Structure 1
Amino acid sequence: MKSRFALVGAAAVVALSLAACGGGGQGAGSNTLEVQTGVAADTNEMAALKAIAADFEKANPNTKLNLVPAGTNYENDIKVRLSSNNIPDIWMTHGWSLLRYSKFLTPLQNEPWAKNLVPELDPVMKDASGALYAMPTNVDITGIMYNKDVLAKAGYKPEDIKTWDDFMSAAEKAKANGVSAVYAGGKSMAGTILDHVISGAFTQNGLDQMKSGTFVADPYGQALNLVGKWRDAGLFNPDYSSATKTDMSKALAQGQALFEFGPSPIADDAIKYNPNAHIGFIPIPTLTGAPSYLDTGERTAYGVSKTSKDVSGAKAFLAFLAKPENETKMAAASASLPGLTDAKSTPGPLSSSYDEYVTQKKTQTVPYFDRVYLPNGAWSTMGNGTDAVITKQSDVNSAVQQMASTYKSLYGQGK
């Protein structure tokens, strides 16, 4: 899912630059590769990455890896590094290897592992010519996460939720049982809600127009109206404005939430708070009457800078990371499916949902809306507008007009 990191001040940028000193990029020795990991220091993904990096260094004693953990401002910091031409050898592209970073990255489609890219990632990671710019350690495939026990107490089964009316009925029952029907982690997660819902508001013709430079307002407004309907029904958690992504995990784990919109690690973290929690996801209904779907996209993926002093060494590390056993470890650490087809899926809190909806039912997947149909830079407007609707600081029409203006401005810049 696209990174939802908040933009912060210059002090954090300086901290990242200092962390990079002694690493690779523009100022390091040719035998040291700087890897901007894009993951926090205390995560399972970082632990797995460190272990794999140590194995790589043993097998390649002339190459050292400087793994730099992410702060809360990762996206902004990478922008600063790129604009100042102080570019890491390898960096995590947080969903934007193609549309935002491809001009800085070495093409990787001819690497041996590239033939194993999972098909769901083709639309968002390959360009029209088939060029690929990053190696994914996982793929984000998700729908609406839910607590199975809370849904059952409300008198519903997962298969009962076929339409948004079904969703509302179950949500209202959960609310009557004293549960937050739709739990969200404040402003930083507001855009994620709309990003999940909005693809189901557009027809294919509308999506084609959005992709070609014409903003289609009506379906965008319909998706926001749906969110406003949930607000008016009192379905959001009372502490919405102060809640965090960690609070989302806790609420899901402790049976205080029915539905949540967010990336799969929320479910993985939930199990830490309650190992006995029963969590899954269901496909996302549409507003057009089309079949339900799942969202998919690039999540943790690593690209190699064109300006690295050791492109071959950086490619060698990605090839090592792409080994089936290592890809399997990285995917398991993020509670996600592997990004390459020769790796194995491992059990996790969402395994049964993956098996049912992805493997067995082969539910259609669609790319995250913002990564394909909105220009680079529009994510903050999407999040701010959704948050403003939820908190009643703005009406739907104003939020739509703000996005229309942002779309027109940024799309023009991109051209």
Structure 2
Amino acid sequence: MKRSKWLLLAFTLLLTWTLAACGSNNNDKASNPPSASANASESPSESPSASASDKPDEKQVTLNVTTNINDQQAKVLEEIARAFEQENPNIKVEFSAPGAEYENIMKVKMASNSMPDVFSTHGWSKIRYADYLADLKDEAWVGQIDDAIKPAVTDEAGKVYVLPMDQDKSGPVYNADVLEKYGIAVPTTWDEMMQAAETIKTKSNGEVTAFHIGGADSWPIGQFFDFFATPAFISAADNNASQFLDGTFDWAQFDKLPQMFLDLQTKGYLNKDVLTAKYTDSAKAFAEGKAAFGIYGPYLIDEARKINPNLKGGLMPIPSIAAGDQPTLAGGEKSTWGVWKDSPNIDAAKKLVAFYAKPENIAKVATSQILPPGLKGVTIDAGDLTDDFEQYKDLRVIPYFDRVYLPNGMWDVMCKNGQDLLAGGITVREYSENMKQEYERLRSAQQ
């Protein structure tokens, strides 16, 4: 009996303690709601909807950024993008530099209207990409665009298509030590260039090649045709510019250009491994004094200096061909950034472009290309080329031939037919016929 009373008393005490504890826990929950949504109406500033990550300028976004620039120059562009990410942790940059595949990739993206947020226009901002680019005329850096490059990146209505980080003023380059060794002055005409090539071949006993072209990459072959089509058909007083534009050009006349190219090979002025050598091989030969001329822009010198820091290189204008004509430089866009007009992240994209427009970043890009800056108020050390840019500052700068006088898509035609020509797969006449066929097909498709 006593044992039952003690059990009943213990059970009663236990039940009383449990109820008291539960009451205490309920009071704690009432004073500390499990989520901010329970009292959002009383304290909006503490709601998740007002957190820092959701503020308009803090929204987490990812920018797709794509450039045609490759090699070391692309690394410079990417380094700047990473610096931008450090200053803007809410913006991630997916940077891509696909190299030779860039143009084909962009054609697919244009067809599907799914462009990168930020992309380079490789000389075609107004002609090819105009309908895809946002107008950047209200950006702070616009007033700094250099007068020389302005016509290439703006139109008469005032639209600004891209940020020009540098401006192309280009022509072949030469190894100054090689020319000095064989007593050769910088050629100003095609005939002088051929005489120089013969001298180098003879005096070096074939150990130094006059022209080194990395034909396995194909685009260096296209560079030859793009450079020398201007003196062959455009720059002289008696020229074919209007015929290329209106479709009446007699393509039999074009034979002289592939014949000039083939002559380099048959006369022994071209590296024997032209069809297997790459651009990097050209840089190596140039650096080691085994090549006199590079049918590239000034960037070849920068690439070669990684191998030979003491290299003395120079820029030369494109030699004239017709009697009475003067040498020229090829010009226009080089390193650019445009913003896709339908980008879902257009504000962030413009912010990235503005970051590249900072003087220190413009200087980095222009220096990597060894080209004049695209914006005023920026100075760079172009090394050996500083004097060249000054010497040729008043020389005619003519846009690259394919950008003005050929329909979109002809670049690959020039490159691949050039490879076939050197391989013996086609004749000079067939080169011109293939050009005519594709010119007419593409021109008709784009009208």
Q: Shorter-normalised TM-score: what interval?
A: 0.7 to 0.9
Aligned to 2:266: 232
Instruction: Kindly report which structure 2 residues correspond to 1:170-189, keeping only aligned pairs within 5 A, or say none.
Output: 170-176=196-202, 177=204, 178=206, 179-187=208-216, 188=218, 189=220
Over the residues paired in the alignment, what is the CA RMSD in angstroms? 2.3
Paired AA for residue 186 in structure 1: G
Q: How far apart, CA to CA, are the structure 1 residues paired with 2:74 and 2:190?
A: 38
Paired AA for residue 192 in structure 1: Q
CA shift, 1:186, in A, is 1.0
Q: Say which is worse superposed, 333-342 or 368-377, in terms of deviation.
A: 333-342
Q: How far apart, CA to CA, are the structure 2 residues paired with 1:128 and 1:402?
A: 36
Q: Is 1:245 matched with 2:272?
A: no
The share of aligned pairs that are identical, in percent, is 35
Aligned to 1:333: 368
Paired AA for residue 179 in structure 2: L
Q: How far apart, CA to CA, are the structure 1 residues paired with 2:386 and 2:433?
A: 40
Aligned to 1:45: 73
Aligned to 1:7: none
Q: How far apart, CA to CA, are the structure 2 residues paired with 1:130 and 1:293?
A: 28
Q: 1:401 to 1:286 in 2, by over 3 A?
A: same
Aligned to 1:14: none
Q: Deviations over 1:111-155 (max 9, x none)?
A: 332333334434543445453321122222111211111111221
| TM-score when normalising by structure 1 | 0.84
Q: Is 1:317 matched with 2:352?
A: yes
Q: How far apart, CA to CA, are the structure 2 residues paired with 1:214 and 1:115?
A: 40
Paired AA for residue 292 in structure 1: P
Aligned to 2:184: 156
| TM-score when normalising by structure 2 | 0.79
Aligned to 1:306: 341
Aligned to 2:403: 371
Correspondence for 2:116 among 52, 75, 88: 88
Q: Deviations over 1:283-324 (max 9, x none)?
A: 112222311111112122111011111222211221221122
CA shift, 1:108, in A, is 2.2
Q: Say which is worse superposed, 249-258 or 390-399, in terms of deviation.
A: 390-399
Q: How far apart, CA to CA, are the structure 2 residues paired with 1:343 and 1:110?
A: 21
Q: Count residues with an aligned counterpart.
A: 380
Q: Secondary structure at the match of 1:73?
A: helix
Paired AA for residue 381 in structure 1: V
Q: Is 1:136 matched with 2:136?
A: no
Q: How far apart, CA to CA, are the structure 2 residues paired with 1:54 and 1:241?
A: 37
Aligned to 2:64: 34
Contact 2:298 2:315 in 1 (8 A): no
Q: Secondary structure at the match of 1:149?
A: helix
Aligned to 2:330: 295
Q: Say which is worse superposed, 366-375 or 318-327, in terms of deviation.
A: 318-327
Q: 1:108 to 1:208 in 2, by over 3 A?
A: farther
Contact 1:267 1:349 in 2 (8 A): no
Q: How far apart, CA to CA, are the structure 2 residues paired with 1:117 and 1:218?
A: 41
Q: How far apart, CA to CA, are the structure 2 residues paired with 1:266 and 1:71?
A: 16
CA shift, 1:208, in A, is 2.2
Correspondence for 1:380 among 412, 417, 437: 412
Correspondence for 2:92 among 47, 51, 64: 64
CA shift, 1:195, in A, is 0.7
Unaligned 5+ runs, structure 2: 1-58
Aligned to 2:3: none
Q: Say which is worse superposed, 106-115 or 274-283, in terms of deviation.
A: 106-115
Q: Secondary structure at the match of 1:292?
A: coil
Q: How far apart, CA to CA, are the structure 2 residues paired with 1:67 and 1:273?
A: 27
CA shift, 1:218, in A, is 5.2
Contact 1:335 1:349 in 2 (8 A): no
Paired AA for residue 227 in structure 2: H
Q: How far apart, CA to CA, are the structure 1 residues paired with 2:403 and 2:167?
A: 14
Q: Is 1:73 matched with 2:73?
A: no
Q: How far apart, CA to CA, are the structure 1 residues paired with 2:258 and 2:158?
A: 34
Correspondence for 2:232 among 189, 201, 224: 201
Q: 1:212 to 1:84 in 2, by over 3 A?
A: same
CA shift, 1:73, in A, is 1.8
Paired AA for residue 432 in structure 2: V
CA shift, 1:30, in A, is 6.4
Aligned to 1:116: 144
CA shift, 1:35, in A, is 1.4
Q: How far apart, CA to CA, are the structure 2 residues paired with 1:406 and 1:374?
A: 10
Q: How far apart, CA to CA, are the structure 2 residues paired with 1:342 and 1:149?
A: 33
Q: 1:72 to 1:166 in 2, by over 3 A?
A: closer
Q: Is 1:344 matched with 2:370?
A: no
Q: Secondary structure at the match of 1:267?
A: helix
Q: Deviations over 1:174-210 (max 9, x none)?
A: 1111211111111512111111111001246511221
Unaligned 5+ runs, structure 1: 1-28
Q: How far apart, CA to CA, are the structure 1 residues paired with 2:254 and 2:138?
A: 38
Q: 1:228 to 1:44 in 2, by over 3 A?
A: closer
Q: How far apart, CA to CA, are the structure 1 residues paired with 2:443 and 2:278?
A: 31
Aligned to 1:259: 293
Paired AA for residue 34 in structure 1: N
Q: Secondary structure at the match of 2:240?
A: helix
Q: Secondary structure at the match of 2:93?
A: strand
